[in-house]
Amino acid sequence: MIYEGEFLKDAISKLLADGYRVFAPSRVGDFHVFREISSAEEADFNYILPRNSAKVAVFPQNEILIEYGDWIERVPMEEKRIAIVGVRACDAKAIKLLDKHFLEGFVDPYYKSRREKLLTIAIACNNALINCFCQSLGINPRKPEADVVVSEIDGRVFVSADTEIGKSFLQGFNLRNENEEELEIKKRFESEELKMREIRVDVEKLKKSFDSPYWKEVAINCKSCGVCTYLCPTCFCFDIYDEGEKRGVRIRTWDSCQFPLHTLESSSHNPRAEKWQRLRNRFYDKFYYTLRKGNYYCVGCGRCIDFCPAGIDIVNAISEVR
């Protein structure tokens, strides 16, 4: 269906009026970050990919699990509905992958409380960035998996909804059906491939090269910082600790497998003491270990390549494994 006007801004106004917490890309200096906004003006959609991923909406960097005094006093759960406006196909897919991690098998109640009330509004990509490679991982950047999908083609705003939540949300908007020409345009748009980098994943080879000296070579310049994991839309590791002695809060925060302390055990043994082991772990976690959940856990957004201070490139590292 087609909407006349700025759909995303109008959608934000409506969501805010409906009492949603809205996460949208907002401009900071020269770039965009996903953050909670309180008015439609704060959002800015003149971007390709925000710096941080949309996972902040469902899996915030720090959240309070319990508040304690003599005993547990309060367990804060998300009560408001949440909307993410303006996600790209990669981040939308990443949320689906996080669902698998947090909701299959052991169910994470905190994640669940947010996920159940989540509405995602995605935008189809018109252009790719220099390090995008989602197409080679089976994601169509022009057809994101989300509740509501918006594509802007030649000045026309196409809006469609695949899920029940999405459909009921769209009922509040003044939309008209496409004519045949426009349907054709949209079809062509969705089937057109963008020019992107390609990743070649050879699982058998990965399986064999676990002990290869190749990983030392790749990681020689790794700084063991958390850029790749904190910007990654599918990284889900966290740490839990208490703040306050007699009274306080138990907090869950993001953690990164690249930090040496991540795997340090109380026995003072560290199974991944060297940085190449940690980097290898991240690569295997994206392309091999997580296969038991049925997917690669990489969505090809390219953030870890763009912002790695050492220039480590996951596409090259995985494609050239030996």
Residues that bind another protein (CB under 8 A): 28-31, 33, 51-52, 61-62, 64, 67, 130-131, 197, 220-221, 223-227, 229-231, 239, 241-243, 248-249, 251, 253-256, 259-261, 264, 266-268, 307, 309-313, 315-316
CA 213 to chain centre: 31
| CA distances from residue 103 to 100, 111, 186 in whole angstroms, order as listed | 6, 8, 34
Among 233, 216, 238, CA closest to 84: 233
Q: Which is nearer to another protein, 166 or 302 (CB)?
A: 302
Q: How far is the CB of 61 from another protein (least distance, A)?
A: 5
Of the two residues 70 and 180, which places its CB atom closer to another protein in the complex?
70
Q: Which is nearer to another protein, 28 or 75 (CB)?
A: 28
Q: How many angstroms separate the CA atoms of 49 and 31, rounded? A: 9
The residue among 76 and 172 lying less far from another protein, judged by its C-beta, is: 76
Q: How far is the CB of 311 from another protein (least distance, A)?
A: 3
Least distance CB 117 / another protein (angstroms):
22
Place of tokens 């009492």: 19
Contacts of 143 (CB under 8 A, 6+ apart): 89, 124, 149, 190
In the complex, minimum distance from the CB of residue 174 to another protein, in angstroms, rounded to a whole number = 37
Please report the beta strands in 79-155, taking only residues with DSSP state E, as ranges in sequence order.
82-87, 118-123, 148-153
Tell me the C-alpha distance between 130 and 298, whole Å: 17
Residue 49, number of CB atoms within 10 A of its CB: 22
CB 142, min distance to another protein, A: 20
44 or 190: whose CB is closer to another protein?
44
